[in-house]
Amino acid sequence: MTNSVNPFILADGKKPSCMEMLQLILDGEATAGQQEYFRTHMDKCAPCFKSYNLDNTIKELLKTRCCGDSVPAGLIEQIRNQISQNQAS
C-alpha cells in the first residue's frame, strides 16, 4: 500500500475491496489518481497482480472471440424497404 490516501474510498468512508478496485481499473472507470494508486498497490499485492492479468486476458479474449458475427446479407436493404413502405402508407 502507498502512504497516500486511498482514492477508491467512497463518500461513506467504506474501503473498497481489491476486486472492486480491480474492476474499475479494468473497465476504464478509474480516475487518474485511482489508476496510480492501484499500480503501486498491485506491486505489493500478489492476488491483485494475478487477477489483473487473468481478468485482462478474459476481457481481451471476449472481445476477439465473440464479436465476429456478420450481419445477414440483405438485412439493411430489408430495413430500408420497410421504412419506405411505412412512409408511403
Binding site for another protein (CB under 8 A): 17-20, 23, 27-29, 50-51, 53-55, 57-59, 61-63, 65-67, 69-72, 75-76, 78-79, 82-83, 86
Residues in the chain, total: 89
| Cβ-based nearer residue to another protein, 13 or 29 | 29
Cβ at position 14, least distance to another protein in Å: 10
Cβ at position 6, least distance to another protein in Å: 16
Give the whole-angstrom CA distance, residue 86 versus residue 26.
Answer: 44
Cβ at position 39, least distance to another protein in Å: 19
CB-based burial of residue 36 (10 Å sphere; 0-12 exposed, 13-18 middle, 19+ buried)? Answer: middle
Identify the CA nearest to 53 among candidates 64, 63, 62, 42: 42
| Cβ-based nearer residue to another protein, 19 or 40 | 19
Q: Which helix (H) or strand (E) holds 64?
A: helix 46-65
